[in-house]
Structure 1
Amino acid sequence: MRNPFRSTRVRLTLVSAVQFSMVVTAAAVGFWGASSQFEYAAVDASLRAQGNAVRATVEQSTSSGSPILPSRSSTGLPIDSFVVGPDNLLLADSASVVTFSSVSSLVPVHGFPVHAELETVVLPEGAMRVLLRQIALPDGRTGGLLLVRPIDDVRFRLVQSAVLLVLIGTGLIVACWLLAWRLAGRALAPVREMSTIARAITEQDLHRRLPEELPANDEIGQLARTFNTMLLRLESAFDSLQRFTADAAHELRAPLSIMRTQLEVTMRRRRTEAEYVHSNATLLREVEQLTRVADHLLLLARADSGALLPKLEPLDLPDLVEEVADRWQASAAAKGAALKCSVVHGGRLMGDPDLLKRLLDNLLDNALRHTPSGGEVGVVAICADGVWTVSVSDSGPGVPVDAQPYLFERFSRGDPARSRSTGGAGLGLSICAAIARAHGGSIELAPGPLSGATFILRLPIHHGAAPNPSPPKETGSRPMAGAQASTGEVMAASPSRDRDH
């Protein structure tokens, strides 16, 4: 069975109504108590006034006869008066409601009090308010005065007031419950609408958004905007995942298709040894391509899950940059391009040498792949303000403006028509960005000294000391233009080109 108290609307209504009920009940009890005190104070005042009138009547009377006592107060209220002698015998009375035999038990055994005392008693004739006090008799003796005033009318008015307060309070409480239920429903209506829309949203229509008509400082409006922001992130993540899945399937299917075709052609008839060697070499190239793609995807998956943790150690970055550049000299020479390297020695940083080598390899591979024969690739490494800046520039055609926002996305290529054989899998720059972030750094495309693109890598030194700059050490056939310039000069303007990664 569903628990109704799990509903926010029920809980809000219950809390509001209970609090209002407590306030109404306290107000009704307070009002009734004040009314009761007022009623009894009026009765007591009338009894005291009547007592003074009776005392004056008794004092002015003669000792030879019984005084004639008033039977009503000055306001016309019926008050029975009884004058009792020292021996507790009745001397005079004005009984109209009760008899002395009914009130004789109220006569004090040890004498009447000097000052007036009042109490409420219940007699056979009904509820009475009684006043007792001493009184001086005409013969000089001390007697007692007993005044009795019926209070059934007072009790009746108090009961009427209580019934009226209960009816009014009950009506107010019921009205409060209904109003609280309605207000809670109206306040939570946007939440129900949000819930309905959210339940209807699937991965096919993540473009839908919740209405945001509420004011900016409204809590439910803030919830709607937060939910829409989350939907935007989900939509972006799903789009990226779909593109990633499609591109990954394409990158994996292409070598598999080539391998299958090669095997089918090879198995159609008996081949010579040389043909088998050629076929196996083709298969090996495609297996290596599959291995590279899988390795890249694994590294990016580790980066996405936060598991790409570099093994930090003190590292001489200039030596590392020179080592990587030297390894690519043969590739540059084979393509007829000049690879220049200019670094500032004397500084270290905390980094993972294997990951940083992979980052630099990707940048140089990318630069050489797009540099034409006779072109130039330049590498500059300088340190300033506790940050190492490594720039890799080339003289290729550049990156189109419309492709620059997606340059570091996975499987992104500057030219969609570029094939795998010339454009790679499109994961190199994504891996560079992931490795840079793992080291607390960044990488970006910026204008550079050559005609092509320039990638700027920034890595914080962390706990390393700032270098003592020394003249740049140069490698290659001739100095690179702008190699000794500052960081800002290294990032000088250059035209865009069509590039993939």
Structure 2
Amino acid sequence: MLLLVLSSLGVVTLVTWLLLIDETDRRIETALTSEIAEFARVTETGVNPTTGQPYGSVDEILRSVIAANVARPNEKFMGYLDGEFRWESRRTSPRVLLREDPAFNALVSSVQRPTRGSYESVAGEVRWSALPVGLAGDPAGGVIVIGYFTDQEHEFANEAARLMVIVGVGTALLAAVGAWLVAGRILRPLRDVAATARTITGTDLSHRVPQHAGARDEIAELAGTLNAMLDRVQSGMEAQRRFVDDAGHELRTPITIVRGHLGVLDPCDPDDVADTVALVDDELERMNRLVSEMLALTRAEQPSLLRPELVEVAELTRDLFDKLTGLADRDWLLQSVAPVRVRMDPHRITQAVVALADNATRFTGPGDRIALGSEIVRGRVRIWVADTGPGVAPEDRTRVFRRFARGENAPRSDGAGLGLSIVEAIATTHGGRVLLESTPGRGATFTLDLPGDTR
């Protein structure tokens, strides 16, 4: 940034200097043109403006014209008579005597017509304009010369450029110091981010990026985003560890049972062999169901596996009711349907509702009522399964959604305790949630609360 600032300053200074030089050169050219025109008018009248009498000689014309005009700074008026220097303006700034320069005298003293040129003197470039002067009755020939010392005229532009460079460099140095201090404060949180990232390992995700109270800039937003990401990663890692531990525990039990019975198997006893084979087959079937449910839960947790489409919720509800009535001998009831089209994955929603209904059949008996329904509530779609079973105890309402968990009053089943976890994962990947309403002894209602997105 400092290089960019200095480069910009250099460009601005150069352009300003060139503009000032150009303006000075045009002013010199204009002055030379106007001075020569004025001298020409004076000499053409043939009358001395000081005395009002006609000029008596060319020498008088030179002296009168040069004396009557005051030279500007860095400007000289000179008069030559018959090739020899004769008169010079009183102001001699700069103090360079061009009349003592033979080369310049030879260049300008004998011109025969108005002439303009440039000459390199010891004081730098001189831009000059010469006007021949003559008078009837006087055989002498004169020349009036106007000279401008352009290097001295350019000094103002040079001084302005020097001042701009000095001020610009000083300002850039002050800006560099300020930028160094400010950049250090700005980049300190980034160093904290890097330091925190180095402390995070595969087994320790507890460290967080320090956040300063009241900070609301982009760095603070970055730190907050990283901390939120670390929270999600840590939560996912902990959930994965719990899942692996629970799955290992669930699989270890049937494996232990199988190994125990195989260890005491009497190969010579056909009845013992038959009983052991039946037990091993049952335990293997249970492990197969456990693995299948674990895979189903993994798929349900991946939003990328969703295949959303516009679904007629009323039609889906009726189709679900037709499927659910074959699960068990219960008093099935279709309470209501929502006449709306919503974008969802009908196969996943069907999987979730069937899991809820299957769970309801486990907690009810023949003749008990299980109800299905759907409705629109404040722009959201709700699909529920309600039963008249024993309900869920208040202390179990959170626990039943955990993996491999069952309620205290849950009947023994062949499931692994992943059914409600799968239902919750399906609802979450749809951007929704699972609601539970239950009164112990009076049944439970599980509701899929989903966004009413129609796009």
User: Match of 1:111?
Assistant: 113
**Is contact 2:307-2:345 (8 Å) kept?**
no
**Is contact 2:403-2:417 (8 Å) kept?**
yes
Alpha-carbon offset, residue 125 of structure 1? 7.2
Could you say if the C-alpha distance between residues 311 and 291 of structure 1 is closer, same or farther in structure 2, counting changes exceeding 3 Å?
farther
User: Match of 2:87?
Assistant: 93
The aligned runs of 1:340-489 (5 Å cut-off) are 340-343=331-334, 359=352, 362-370=355-363, 377-384=368-375, 389-396=383-390, 398-401=392-395, 403-415=396-408, 421=412, 424-434=415-425, 443-447=434-438, 451-457=442-448
**Is contact 2:85-2:105 (8 Å) kept?**
no
Could you say if the C-alpha distance between residues 288 and 237 of structure 1 is closer, same or farther in structure 2, counting changes exceeding 3 Å?
same
TM norm structure 1: 0.66
**Is contact 2:385-2:446 (8 Å) kept?**
yes
Could you say if the C-alpha distance between residues 145 and 364 of structure 1 is closer, same or farther in structure 2, counting changes exceeding 3 Å?
closer
Alpha-carbon offset, residue 379 of structure 1? 1.0
User: Match of 1:265?
Assistant: 264
SS of the residue corresponding to residue 305 of structure 2 reads coil
CA distance in 1, matches of 2:247, 2:215: 42
- 1:292 maps to which of 268, 289, 292: 289
Alpha-carbon offset, residue 429 of structure 1? 1.1
**Is contact 1:255-1:290 (8 Å) kept?**
yes
The root-mean-square deviation of aligned C-alpha atoms, in Å, is 5.0
Could you say if the C-alpha distance between residues 140 and 187 of structure 1 is closer, same or farther in structure 2, counting changes exceeding 3 Å?
farther
Alpha-carbon offset, residue 304 of structure 1? 2.8
- What's the CA shift string for 1:136-158, capped at 9, x where partnerless? 75869996421335556556676
Q: How many residues align?
A: 426
Alpha-carbon offset, residue 298 of structure 1? 1.5
Alpha-carbon offset, residue 289 of structure 1? 1.0
User: Match of 1:239?
Assistant: 238
User: Match of 2:125?
Assistant: 127
- What's the CA shift string for 1:91-117, capped at 9, x where partnerless? 84339532476234236855227xxx6
SS of the residue corresponding to residue 98 of structure 1 reads helix
Could you say if the C-alpha distance between residues 77 and 156 of structure 1 is closer, same or farther in structure 2, counting changes exceeding 3 Å?
closer
Could you say if the C-alpha distance between residues 90 and 406 of structure 1 is closer, same or farther in structure 2, counting changes exceeding 3 Å?
farther
**Is contact 2:431-2:450 (8 Å) kept?**
yes
In the alignment, residue 256 of structure 1 is paired with which amino acid?
A: I
**Is contact 1:259-1:286 (8 Å) kept?**
yes
The reply to whether residue 27 of structure 1 matches residue 13 of structure 2 is yes
Return 5+ residue gaps in structure 1 as ranges. 1-12, 330-338, 464-501
Alpha-carbon offset, residue 247 of structure 1? 0.8
Could you say if the C-alpha distance between residues 321 and 265 of structure 1 is closer, same or farther in structure 2, counting changes exceeding 3 Å?
farther
CA distance in 1, matches of 2:119, 2:325: 114
**Is contact 2:209-2:223 (8 Å) kept?**
yes
Could you say if the C-alpha distance between residues 432 and 166 of structure 1 is closer, same or farther in structure 2, counting changes exceeding 3 Å?
closer
Of the structure 1 ranges 257-266 and 66-75, higher mean CA displacement relative to structure 2 is found in 66-75
- What's the CA shift string for 1:200-225, capped at 9, x where partnerless? 22243323322332766522222222
CA distance in 2, matches of 1:47, 1:78: 13
In the alignment, residue 98 of structure 1 is paired with which amino acid?
A: R
Could you say if the C-alpha distance between residues 354 and 102 of structure 1 is closer, same or farther in structure 2, counting changes exceeding 3 Å?
closer
In the alignment, residue 99 of structure 2 is paired with which amino acid?
A: V
In the alignment, residue 453 of structure 1 is paired with which amino acid?
A: A
CA distance in 2, matches of 1:173, 1:316: 71
**Is contact 2:13-2:164 (8 Å) kept?**
no
**Is contact 1:377-1:394 (8 Å) kept?**
yes
Could you say if the C-alpha distance between residues 286 and 394 of structure 1 is closer, same or farther in structure 2, counting changes exceeding 3 Å?
farther
The aligned runs of 1:194-343 (5 Å cut-off) are 194-213=193-212, 217-266=216-265, 269=266, 272-305=269-302, 306-307=304-305, 318=318, 321=321, 324-329=324-329, 339-343=330-334
Could you say if the C-alpha distance between residues 242 and 184 of structure 1 is closer, same or farther in structure 2, counting changes exceeding 3 Å?
same
In the alignment, residue 20 of structure 2 is paired with which amino acid?
A: A
Return 5+ residue gaps in structure 2 as ranges. 90-96
Of the structure 1 ranges 204-213 and 302-311, higher mean CA displacement relative to structure 2 is found in 302-311
**Is contact 1:80-1:97 (8 Å) kept?**
no
CA distance in 2, matches of 1:270, 1:76: 129
Alpha-carbon offset, residue 254 of structure 1? 1.0
Alpha-carbon offset, residue 319 of structure 1? 6.7
Alpha-carbon offset, residue 245 of structure 1? 0.9
**Is contact 1:17-1:173 (8 Å) kept?**
no
CA distance in 2, matches of 1:121, 1:242: 93
In the alignment, residue 93 of structure 1 is paired with which amino acid?
A: W
Q: Percent identity?
A: 25
